[in-house]
Amino acid sequence: MTQLFGKPLVTQEAMRTRIKELGRDITQYYQHKDLVLVGVLKGAFMFYADLVRAIRLPVTVDFMIVKSQLRGNTTGKVKVLTDLTEEIQGRDVLLVEDIVDSGLTVQHLTRQLSKRKPKSLQVCALLSKPARRQIDVNVHYIGFEIPNHYVVGYGLDYQQQYRNLPYLAVLDPKSVEAP
């Protein structure tokens, strides 16, 4: 699988270093708060597992399974397949996303979660593609801003493949069918 990809766009080493920094920032901000870390699956699973271990605080873990894209392109429709198991009213929620692209998913999820009256609601995304933004969403913690390429690995997929690649790579359009 790895031979499909050339140089990583973000190496495992760079990922580790940046996630430690994010963990430190989050630890500082959420001191004495009731942190609920909400992972958006499937894409965020690997990032989430590393991030939660970089946070030195008591934390409640929870997840949502969301479908927000069709064959590599965002559809603009966001479907919640599995909802949270925890009540978030009055609690400090941090939404953990793999990537903010158009911004539609983050907008949809923050609107839905706000209705449940959390005490606070912030967003942490491993990646952001500013060139693709359609909606000006507020992302409080960003791992890396990346150029406008379709990326895979470290949880991110192309047609449900490549999520297990341990680093982030640009998908080579020549190696797969066009989306």
Catalytic positions = 101
- Is 103 a binding residue for ligand IMP by CB under 6 A? The answer is yes
Binding region for Mg ion (CB under 5 A):
43, 98
Interaction of residue 43 with ligand IMP, rule CB under 6 A: yes
Q: In whole angstroms, give the CA distance from residue 100 to residue 38.
A: 15
Minimum distance from residue 105 beta carbon to Mg ion (Å): 6
Nearer to ligand IMP, 59 or 105 (CB): 105
> 29 touches which of Mg ion, ligand IMP, none (CB within 5 to 8 A by kind)?
none
Q: Does 101 bind ligand IMP (CB under 6 A)?
A: yes
Rule CB under 6 A: choose which of 37, 156, 168, 169 binds ligand IMP: 156
- Please state the length of the chain: 179
Q: How far apart are CA 97 and CA 40, in angstroms?
A: 5
Which run of H or of E encompasses 88?
none
Asked if 128 touches ligand IMP (CB under 6 A), the answer is no
Helix %, strand %, coil % of the chain (to 5) = 25, 35, 40
Beta strands 141-145; 120-128: pairing state = parallel
Nearer to ligand IMP, 91 or 162 (CB): 162
CA dist list (Å): 26 to 122, 139, 169: 10, 13, 26
**Minimum distance of ligand IMP from residue 32's CB (angstroms):** 31
Identify the CA nearest to 39 among candidates 115, 109, 130. Answer: 109
Tell me which of ligand IMP, Mg ion, none is bound by residue 69, counting a contact when its beta carbon lies within the kind-specific cut-off of 5 to 8 angstroms: ligand IMP
Residue 92 lies near ligand IMP (rule: CB under 6 A)? no
